[in-house]
Structure 1
Amino acid sequence: MDHMRGRRTRTEVPLLRCAQRTFASQTSGELKVTQILKEKFPQATNIKVTDISGGCGSMYEIHIESEEFEDKRILQQHQMVNKALKDEIKEMHGLRIFTSVPKH
């Protein structure tokens, strides 16, 4: 409390920021998650993993296209991805999953 003016003052706490990275290369976390998904979904025709936390590895966006998702509801597809990444998810704060079946 700022006693001289009778107002509260706000303490600014700096946010911890992740190290900046170049977008030309993947982070080690992106590479690790991509490799796991390639192993768990051998029929995948497209896998894209992006660290959307700025390089910290705390939040990822995943796009995966695979025949293995055919005839499955979106929820089931996402559950398959979650199961494949169950150990890695423990270290994450968030995950965005986008799944699709390749067009014939």
Structure 2
Amino acid sequence: MLACKRSVTGTMTAALRLLRSNQVVVVSGQQQRCLSTHTDGEVRITKVLKEKFPSAASLKVVDISGGCGAMYEIHIESSEFKGKRTVQQHQLVNQALKDEIQEMHGLRIFTDVPKH
């Protein structure tokens, strides 16, 4: 019984992570898009970054503080990072979010240059 409970708990945790990340899920051989709601902070930060990096090939902002807006994780891929070291790429993101960062406890930034 304990193994079954652990398995169900693990499955529920994985499902919640998928919902939070807004990924595509395959259920019974059919592809379904998980519905997720974005926090006000995620929407605000996404808007700022889209304005600052209009050529971004991909952008994902996730509130990893449980919804309180204290910590975010940002994944951004933009040609504007080409030729810059990682620290310089992160400085560009920090500069774009200078007003928002003042109210945060932490920020994880992942940057990349598009491959194509």
Query: If the TM-score is normalised by the length of the shorter chain, which range does it land in?
Result: 0.7 to 0.9
Q: Going by fraction, where is strand more abundant, 1 or 2?
A: 2
Q: Which runs of 4+ in 1 moved over 4 A?
A: none
In structure 1, the residue matched to 2:105 is 93
- What secondary structure, in the 3-state scheme, does the structure 2 residue paired with 1:62 have? strand
Q: Going by fraction, where is helix more abundant, 1 or 2?
A: 2
- The answer for unaligned runs of 5 or more in structure 2 is 1-18, 21-35
Report the structure number with the largest CA radius of gyration: 1
TM-score (norm 1): 0.78
- The answer for unaligned runs of 5 or more in structure 1 is 1-21
In structure 1, the residue matched to 2:60 is 48
Matches within 5 A, 1:1-104: 23=20, 24-104=36-116
Q: How many residues align?
A: 83
Supply the distance in 2 between the matched residues of 1:65 and 1:25 (Cα, whole angstroms): 22
Supply the distance in 1 between the matched residues of 2:55 and 2:73 (Cα, whole angstroms): 20
Taking only aligned residues, the RMSD between alpha carbons, in angstroms, comes to: 0.9
